[in-house]
Each structure stands twice: as structure tokens, then as C-alpha cells.
Structure 1
Amino acid sequence: MSSVEQQTFPQQKPQRGWFGRNWWWVLILILVGGFVLCSGLCGGVFCLVIQGLRSSEVYQMSLAAVTKDPVVIEKLGEPITDNWFVGGEMNVNNDQGDARLQSSIQGPKGAASVATVARRIGGKWGLTRIEVTFSDGERHVIELDPDQAGGGMDDAPPWNPSGEAPGEETP
């Protein structure tokens, strides 16, 4: 009699599905996609804030005053152009507010930074101070005409921490 030998084959592991084979790449794709999405969102918000400052009435008034100032024109030459970045803050509460902006300008002869301070009273912006610092370190404060200055410092009384009205005497 012949005996038939039974052959036993090693048991194979069940074949993994697509996700089982590629889960690492899916994870990397999700992480990179999330990073790109967050970066794009942050960059978009940053650009919106910069564009908001650049299109503000305060910035436009400041840029107009700087580009017309004879000292700035003499030091930087013409045409004077602004750079894309504007930094600072604007606080508005109903018809009052204040702003402090920093920007850069350049001309054929050099570059400078501009610091602008403004305030808003009765819904109207007025420039309080514009200081230009040239690349050689020289500073120039631009004299503001009454239209740009929003009436100057006389349109609001000075702050009195004691709470007394001007002209009142304490008993």
C-alpha cells in the first residue's frame, strides 16, 4: 500500500486592505493638509489686517502729508512710494478713537520710516503727529495744517484726573 503523504502549506496571513497598507501616507497627508490650511488662513487674516490699515483714512492722510512735505522730498527725492507693510493699531469706539501707525516710504535717494499718531473725535479723524525717521537717523516732525490736524488740541479739554471742571475751585 502506498501511503499518500499530505502536504501542509504554511498558513498565509490575510492580505491587508488599501488603508492597512497606506495608513501612514494618509496620516502624513492629513497633517500636511492641516498645516497648509492653517497657514493659509493665518496668512489671509494677516493680509486682510494690513490691507485694512493701508486703506484707512488715517494712513491715506498721513501718506499724503508725507509725500507733500518739502524736507522729505529733499531727502528722499521724488517719486515717494510706500511699502506694502503697515503696522500699528487703531481703536475706534463709536465716533471716537485713536490710531498709531508705523510704515515705510522710499524714494530714489533713500528710505525712511513714518510714525503717525491720530485721533478721532465726533467721527472725524485728525492727525496729531507725523514723525519721519530717515535711514541716516535724522528725524523730522511734519508740521500739520489745521485741516489735517482735525482742529488741533483745542477741540477737547485737557484731561483732569481730579474730576473738577476747568475754572472750578475746591472748597
Structure 2
Amino acid sequence: MEEVKQKSWFGRNWVWVVPLGGCLTIIAFFVLGIGALVFGVSKAISGSAPYEYAVEQASNSPKVIAALGSPVETDGIMQGNISLENGDSGHVDITIPLKGSKRKGYVTIIGEKVNGDWVYEELYVLIKSTNEEINLLDKSLEGN
């Protein structure tokens, strides 16, 4: 009686395993690359002066704290863009999601960088549930 040696699982299936494994590896690298890119850009923008200024102003505003609840924190990925030309000029137009203990909202900041200094045209918090808009540039409204 002659014994027939059977091929291993890989030996029988290499024709479809190798291409499929290669494709899945390429897809995994692509997804990881896109994720790293999004994370890196988001991290760079969240460290920018306009981002930090907007979050600080919203977090310290009595009207925003009253509307959203304390503490006021960022809540997710911001939208918009910041562009810088040669360091002394640029433009910002971003919206940052916020959350408090009571509600959620968004802080929006629009401005220009002129001669190295940021000048903000708009800075306001929009309360999500009530559509109330709180202007953070007009300090005379803070007490109201």
C-alpha cells in the first residue's frame, strides 16, 4: 500500500492567499496612512494660536458656561482650515465642537493674521439645541 502525501493547506491555497494577503496589506497601510495624516493635521491645528484662543475664550465665558454647563471642553474633530503664508500672514476659519455638562455647541473663529498678529473678525459659540449665538468678541455682552 502506497501512502500519498497530501500538500499542506498553504500549498493547496497559495494561489488565492498570496494576492489576497498582498491586497489586504496595501489596504491596511493606506488606511493607517490616512488615519495618521488626519491625526497629524488635527493635532497641528489644535496647537495653533487661533484654536487655543477660541477654546480659552469659550471655556472662560460666563454666558457659555451658563448655556453649556461646566466644564466646557472640546468634543471631537474641528472643521475648517488655517492657512499661513510666510509666517506673518494667514487666514483662519474653523469650527470646534464643544460640550458642557448640559448641552453641546460649537465655537467658530474667523480671522486674519496681519504682520504676525491674529485679528479676529468673528468669534462666537452656537448652542446646538437652541441655536443661540454667543458673541465672544463683544465683551460688553458678557455680563448680560
- 8 A contact 1:62–1:127 mirrored in 2: no
1:83 aligns with 2:75: yes
Secondary structure of 2:111's counterpart equals: strand
Q: What are the equivalent positions in structure 2 for 1:41-52 lying under 5 Å apart?
A: 41-52=33-44
Q: Which runs of 5+ in 2 are unaligned?
A: 1-6, 140-144
Partner Cα distance (1:59, 1:144) in 2: 18
Match of 1:65?
A: 57
Secondary structure of 1:104's counterpart equals: strand
Secondary structure of 1:39's counterpart equals: helix
Secondary structure of 2:125's counterpart equals: strand
Q: Which has the higher contact order (CA 8 A, sep 6+)?
A: 2
Structure 2 residue aligned with 1:134, among 122, 127, 131? 127
Q: Size of the alignment, in residue pairs?
A: 129
Partner Cα distance (1:83, 1:118) in 2: 22
Partner Cα distance (1:100, 1:30) in 2: 41
Partner Cα distance (1:37, 1:45) in 2: 12
Partner Cα distance (1:143, 1:36) in 2: 45
Q: Deviations over 1:100-149 (max 9, x none)?
A: 0111111111110111112111112232211211022111221256xxxx
- The amino acid of 1:43's aligned partner reads G
Partner Cα distance (2:123, 2:133) in 1: 10
Match of 2:48?
A: 56
Partner Cα distance (2:58, 2:44) in 1: 20
Match of 2:30?
A: 38
Partner Cα distance (1:35, 1:19) in 2: 25
Q: Which runs of 5+ in 1 are unaligned?
A: 1-14, 146-171
Q: Specify which structure has the higher proportion of helix.
A: 2
Secondary structure of 2:76's counterpart equals: strand
Give how far 1:87 is off: 1.5
RMSD between aligned residues: 1.8
- Normalised to the residue count of structure 1, the TM-score between the two structures is 0.70
Partner Cα distance (1:29, 1:87) in 2: 36
Structure 1 residue aligned with 2:108, among 106, 115, 119? 115
Match of 2:4?
A: none
Match of 1:153?
A: none
Secondary structure of 1:89's counterpart equals: strand
- 8 A contact 1:77–1:107 mirrored in 2: yes
